[in-house]
Amino acid sequence: MSISKPIIYQLFPRLFGNKNTKPVVDGSRSENGSGKFNDINNTALQEIKKLGITHVWYTGIIEHAIVEAYPDAGIPHGNPLVIKGKAGSPYAIKDYYDVNPDLAEDVDERMKEFQNLVARTHQNDMKVIIDFVPNHLAREYHSDAKPEGISDFGDQDDGSKAFSATNNFYYLPHQQLHLSDEIRNRFPHTDYQEYPAKATGNDQFTAHPQLNDWYETVKLNYGVDYQNGHSTHFDPIPDTWIKMKDILLYWAKKEIDGFRCDMAEMVPVEFWQWVIGEIKSVFPDILFIAEVYNPYLYETYIKNGKFDYLYDKVGLYDTLKGVIRGERAARDISQCWQSLNNLDEYMLRFLENHDEQRIASPYFASDPIKALPGMMLSLCMHRGPVMMYSGQEFAETGMEISGYSGSDGRSTIFDFWNLPEHQKWMNDGRFDGELLSDQQKKLQTAYRDILKYAQLPAIVFGEFYDIMWQNTDSNIFNSDKVYAFLRHTANQKLLVICNFDDHTQHLQVKIPTHALETMKIQRPVELYFVNKQSNAKHKLTCKEASEKGLSLNISGYQYLLFEIKHE
């Protein structure tokens, strides 16, 4: 793992660089335009770096199924019946060995343009993460860029068998694929033929996928017979494992620094243990981040699967969203680390990504300022990485009806569209923020102020100590709205306090005697609580700190960070 705390910036190039300010609903590529690799220029990367970012996650890089052809480049039209939206889903891969042609200025030079982006990112002292989508691929998968000696998925399959350990897909023998009327009615004059039908990406072993299924994708076979007791067939190593290892090596050799592994829990952990070991034997510093939602699988995917980090979605994200919305008490946050069984340092924290609703949308908080204490907490709670989604710092709402995507608080990943608030910062490629409102500039500054604390030694290396158990007197500490904790190393002790209320809180924050002992502060000494934001100092004896507490005021939707020094 990196010796610094990874701060990841998720960036969707198709949206990021699109300068069209008046896209039409369900518009085509020619009507609405698409952001390009080249739009992410040095100025953009320098500004991203100023946030405190260490890694950029470029989403939608590997070629996925698209509707509009590039005939001059030999890229045919895709069938819209099995493509979501005019632009297509970045998680329905059409060719694992190529990049999305929509992102290139010169389609014939698309891989070179991407590699130039990787080089620019590195030159600006940031690392590159891309998606690896291992569980499923597009129904019209076909690689025209695969290296010599590599065969396509399914080329050697026996479609007469529902399951075979040597097949890449799962089949519904002797059955034709029948898309539901809801799907077919979207394009009534279009047909799609598939025989025999294949199982769908969301583990639907049926020839009749529905609109809410991942009907545009096909499930990949890693040697698990789902229809016969989930029996496993891993010896000899399945062909799908070998194909996926080749793909990961192909991208690692292009100087990719990490992979965000889509729906990793839908792929057997035995594969991850094998393939991550294989890749890291050649590229020992490469990161593997898993999208895993089932907490019961966390330990297995870390200890056996060998992942560096996992999503902390159903724990901290869901809890913080409830706290920010006033639906849960701040003290509930303690349950998040308590349930992790010392796996905290492996958890990737975030408040936005492409799957989740935007903070500024009415589905989350409406007012983006409400999330700032949650962002500070996400950053400081443990040693694991934290992530931001492009546009989060400008209060992007995701409330536009764009085509396939409706007004749901998420920035579309299926349509040719834009990021209207982000465009004000982009300012036609200048990335100078000239068009931002004063409120947006304050929000961007607030994120910079939070992320600058990411590399404090106690945040990068330190231990975590929850002091909520000592602060239970509601007369002096409102645990419904305030959460407080310590981070500490031998040489640095920090106190973090987050207020999730819109009102100023008047608090007395007690530092338990046990916490002082844990931090190896020898009593009796004088303690100095130095405010890292204002440099103001509060002096207390150890006894006063543990019995009376540190008296302070914390404004609405704010955080305080103190360094504890002693003589």
User: Please, are residues 276 and 307 in contact by the beta-carbon 8 Å criterion?
Assistant: yes
Would you say residue 271 lies in a domain?
Answer: yes
Would you say residue 506 lies in a domain?
Answer: yes
Q: Are residues 469 and 545 in the same domain?
A: yes
Total domains, the chain: 2
Q: Which pLDDT value is given to residue 23?
A: 98
User: Please, are residues 14 and 354 in contact by the beta-carbon 8 Å criterion?
Assistant: no
Would you say residue 134 lies in a domain?
Answer: yes
Q: Are residues 426 and 502 in the same domain?
A: no
Q: Are residues 400 and 534 in the same domain?
A: no
Per-residue pLDDT band at 4 (split at 50, 70, 90): confident
Structural domain boundaries enclosing 350: 7-138+232-452
Final residue before a domain boundary, out of 400, 430, 452: 452
Would you say residue 473 lies in a domain?
Answer: yes
Q: Are residues 426 and 465 in the same domain?
A: no
Q: Which pLDDT value is given to residue 522?
A: 85
Q: Are residues 353 and 501 in the same domain?
A: no
Sign of CA dihedral 375, 376, 380, 386: positive
Q: Are residues 480 and 437 in the same domain?
A: no
Q: Which pLDDT value is given to residue 3?
A: 61
Which residues are 93's β-sheet partners?
Answer: 64
Q: Are residues 384 and 505 in the same domain?
A: no
Q: Which amino acid is at 493?
A: K
Exposure pattern of 86-119 as b/e (b: 16+ CB <10 Å)?
bbbbbbbbbbbbbbbbbbbeeeeebbebbeebbe
Per-residue pLDDT band at 553 (split at 50, 70, 90): very high
Exposure pattern of 56-80 as b/e (b: 16+ CB <10 Å)?
bbbbbbbbbbbbbebeeeebeebbb
Neighbour count for residue 513 (Cβ, 10 Å): 16
Per-residue pLDDT reduced to its tens digit, 324-375:
999 999 999 999 999 999 999 999 999 999 999 999 999 999 999 999 999 9
Check which CATH number belongs to the domain holding 465 and give it: 2.60.40.1180
Q: How far apart are CA 354 and CA 415, in angstroms?
A: 13
Q: Is the pLDDT of residue 174 over 80?
A: yes
What does the pLDDT average to over 125-139? 98
Q: Are residues 468 and 439 in the same domain?
A: no
Would you say residue 156 lies in a domain?
Answer: no
Q: Are residues 267 and 121 in the same domain?
A: yes
What does the pLDDT average to over 483-506? 98
> Cα-flanking dihedrals φ and ψ of residue 369, to 5°?
-65, -30
Three-state SS string across 224-261, please? Answer: EECCCCCEECCCCCCHHHHHHHHHHHHHHCCCCCEEEE
What does the pLDDT average to over 443-470? 97
Per-residue pLDDT band at 2 (split at 50, 70, 90): very low
Would you say residue 189 lies in a domain?
Answer: no
Beta strand segments in 400-476, E = 463-466
Q: Which pLDDT value is given to residue 567?
A: 76
Would you say residue 204 lies in a domain?
Answer: no
Exposure pattern of 1-10 as b/e (b: 16+ CB <10 Å)?
eeeebbbbbb
Neighbour count for residue 123 (Cβ, 10 Å): 10
Nearest to 402 by CA among 79, 84, 5, 75: 84
Q: How far apart are CA 131 and CA 121, in angstroms?
A: 16
Final residue before a domain boundary, out of 452, 480, 514: 452
Q: How far apart are CA 321 and CA 324, in angstroms?
A: 5
- Compute the residue count for the chain: 567
**Distance in Å from the first CA to the final CA of the chain:** 35
Sheet holding 559-566, edge to edge: 463-466, 482-488, 493-499, 559-566, 526-531, 537-541
Q: Are residues 133 and 259 in the same domain?
A: yes
Q: Is the pLDDT of residue 1 over 60?
A: no
Nearest to 417 by CA among 13, 33, 12: 33
Nearest to 516 by CA among 532, 529, 499, 502: 529
Beta strand segments in 450-554, E = 463-466, 482-488, 493-499, 505-509, 526-531, 537-541, 550-554
What does the pLDDT average to over 19-30? 97
Final residue before a domain boundary, out of 396, 417, 452: 452
Q: Are residues 283 and 415 in the same domain?
A: yes
Q: Which pLDDT value is given to residue 306?
A: 98
User: Please, are residues 171 and 161 in contact by the beta-carbon 8 Å criterion?
Assistant: yes
Omega before 196 within 30 of 0, i.e. cis? yes
Nearest to 217 by CA among 288, 155, 138, 293: 138
DSSP 62: E
Q: Which amino acid is at 211?
A: L
Per-residue pLDDT reduced to its tens digit, 40-52:
999 999 999 999 9
Residue ranges in 480-541 assigned as alpha helix (H): 513-518
Q: Kind of pairing, strands 537-541 and 287-290?
A: unpaired
Q: Are residues 539 and 443 in the same domain?
A: no
Check which CATH number belongs to the domain holding 121 and give it: 3.20.20.80
Q: What is the pTM of this model?
A: 0.97
Summary mean pLDDT of the chain: 97
Would you say residue 319 lies in a domain?
Answer: yes
User: Please, are residues 384 and 391 in contact by the beta-carbon 8 Å criterion?
Assistant: no
Token readout for 218 is 């096909």
